[in-house]
Amino acid sequence: MIAGFGQRGLATALVLGLLAGCSSSDEPRLMNLKKTGAGPDEFAILPTKQLQAPTNFSELPAPTPGGSNRTDPTPKADAIAALGGDPSRLSGGGVNDAALIGHTTRFGTDPAIRAQLASLDLQFRKDNDGRLLERLFNVSVYFKAYRKYELDQYSELERFRAAGIRTPAVPPDAKTTKR
C-alpha cells in the first residue's frame, strides 16, 4: 500500500515538474541571467556629486527634461572620462551627431520601425525559444538563436584591410581567443 502511494506520488511529482517546465509566458526568454554572488549590482552604484542646498529655492532653474542635473552638471563628459576617454572632445569641431543623423536619414525614416522590429524579433524569439529541457533548466539559448547573425570580426578585418581601410583597433588573434 505504501509502495503504491510512493510510486503514484513520484509519478505525480514528475508530471507536475514536466508541466511546469512546459509553461511559459508570452515573452520568450532566450538569455537567462542570474546573479552569481551576494555582492552589489554594479549598475546600481552611481558616482554622483554631493547634494547641496541652494541659497534660495525660488531661484532654482526650471526643470529641463533630458537636461543635466545639478549634482551631475556634465554627465556626458563624466561618463567619457570614466571610460577613459577625453571629455574635451565633446565641444570641438569635426563630425557631430547632426551630420551623422543627416547622413543616415537622407533616404527618409519609418516612424513605425521600432514596433515592426519588436514584433519581428518577438516572433523570432518564439520560434527559437529552446528545447524542453533547455527551458526546464534555464539554459541560455540566446547565442545559439542569433548565431547566424553574428559578425565574423576576422573576415571583416581582412575585408577592410584588402580595401585599404585603416584598422587601428584590431581584435586579438583568432587562435588565442576562446569561444
Distance CA 142, CA 149 (A): 12
Place of cell 580595401: 163
45 lies in a domain?
Answer: no
pLDDT at 116: 95
For the chain, residues with pLDDT lower than 70 are: 1-5, 16-26, 32-37, 39-48, 68-73, 92-96, 171-179
Per the structure, how many domains does the chain have?
A: 1
Domain holding 158, by residue range, is 112-170
pLDDT at 98: 81
Mean pLDDT of the chain: 77
pLDDT at 95: 58
133 lies in a domain?
Answer: yes
156 lies in a domain?
Answer: yes
128 lies in a domain?
Answer: yes
The torsion region of residue 94 among left (phi > 0), alpha (psi -120 to 50) and beta comes to left
136 lies in a domain?
Answer: yes
pLDDT at 47: 64
pLDDT at 117: 92
pLDDT at 113: 93
pLDDT at 65: 77
pLDDT at 105: 92
164 lies in a domain?
Answer: yes
